[in-house]
Amino acid sequence: MKILLVDDSETSLMLLETILHGAGYHDLVRTNAATEALEFLHLAKKESPETQPPIDLILMDIVMPGLNGIEATRAIKNDPQLRDVPIIMVTVKDEEDSLERAFEAGAIDYINKPVSKIELRARVGSVLKLKQEMDQRKARERQLENLTRRLHELSNLDGLTNVANRRSFEDTYGREWRRSKREKKPLSVMMIDIDFFKRYNDTYGHLEGDTCLKQVAQAIQSSIRRPGDFIARYGGEEFVVILPDTSPTGAVTIAEAIRNNVGALHIEHSASDVSDVVTVSIGIAGHTPDDSIDSKTLLSSSDQALYQAKSMGRDRINIHTPGSCSF
């Protein structure tokens, strides 16, 4: 446990060191002024928090020339990285106003000069034990926060393909619809289906089918570049892509990249009627959200566009608009 000693009296510092060494505390840092202590803690230089040395306890004299112990305590407690470091005031003054201001500044305890060996050991031991318990509790809280965050991430991922699952899609789609409506920007949705996937499973087995799904998911993921673009597994062999601030025409460019990337996988599919490798059909619908339609209608339109693409022979892209067209 590292302890910082702050006192302008060399005699007081030597006495503190002697008592603490005798109690088994050997990692001591001594400073002869409050400004020197702040420099050691890197507060005076305003350096990054990562460079601040770890300190477990500070013994601070109240009356010192220049910056006094109360002002130094306040500066330390105002720093987010140091506010939890306990500070014990060491002073010959036990007037209520000085001690009250010290506690208001953030001190946790005090001890009077001349320092009593028994009292100093007891107070330091008690405060360090409390500090250790607090550190352990915070560590457990951080672990719990990390675990909760990880569980939340996992609950939003499809376990097989490692892209977002349907629940995550529905949450994201709702947010993007509202944002696009608020900002009056276009929103496009793509429904993607692996052609003749049931036949693929029947021919190559479900293990190969799972591998195929993973590869196609990654091919789709690699085709969308912007941070706001979003892919999810919608169910079975279907995937859905959200493209904010994208018109249906712009979505076609991304859909073509998806078809090309899936084809470039060269996954053998001898049972397909359209190719000897795995292909996908894609339905696109786009709209600038307003009161004329709701989000379900746009999603339904992309699903209808996919259905039409499959009806027209698969391995193609179809846009569901008043002037519907295929590519």
Tokens 């569901």 -> residue = 320
Q: So what's the pLDDT on residue 298?
A: 94
Tokens 């457990």 -> residue = 140
pTM: 0.60
Q: So what's the pLDDT on residue 320?
A: 83
Question: Which is catalytic among the residues 17, 133, 145, 237?
Answer: 237
Q: So what's the pLDDT on residue 53?
A: 63
Q: So what's the pLDDT on residue 326?
A: 40
Query: Alpha-carbon distance 300 to 286, whole Å?
Result: 11
Q: So what's the pLDDT on residue 94?
A: 65
Going by C-alpha positions, the residue among 228, 220, 165 that lies closest to residue 194 is 220
Query: Alpha-carbon distance 248 to 318, whole Å?
Result: 10
- 17 in active site: no
Kindly list the structural domains of the chain, giving each domain's residue range(s) and its CATH number in brackets, ordered by start. 3-148 (3.40.50.2300), 166-326 (3.30.70.270)
Cis peptide before 114 (omega within 30 of 0): yes
Name the token pair of 263: 């084809």
Q: So what's the pLDDT on residue 321?
A: 63
Name the phi and psi angles at 130, rounded to 5: -65, -40
Query: Alpha-carbon distance 131 to 121, whole Å?
Result: 15
Show pLDDT as tens, one digit a residue, over the chain (327 residues). 899 999 999 999 999 999 999 999 999 999 999 999 999 988 645 444 455 568 999 999 998 999 999 999 999 999 988 989 999 999 886 666 788 899 999 999 999 888 999 999 999 999 999 988 988 998 898 888 888 777 776 788 998 999 999 999 999 999 999 999 999 999 999 999 999 999 999 999 999 999 999 999 999 999 998 889 999 999 999 999 999 999 999 999 999 999 999 999 999 999 999 999 999 999 999 999 988 889 999 999 999 999 999 999 999 999 986 334 343
Q: So what's the pLDDT on residue 325?
A: 39
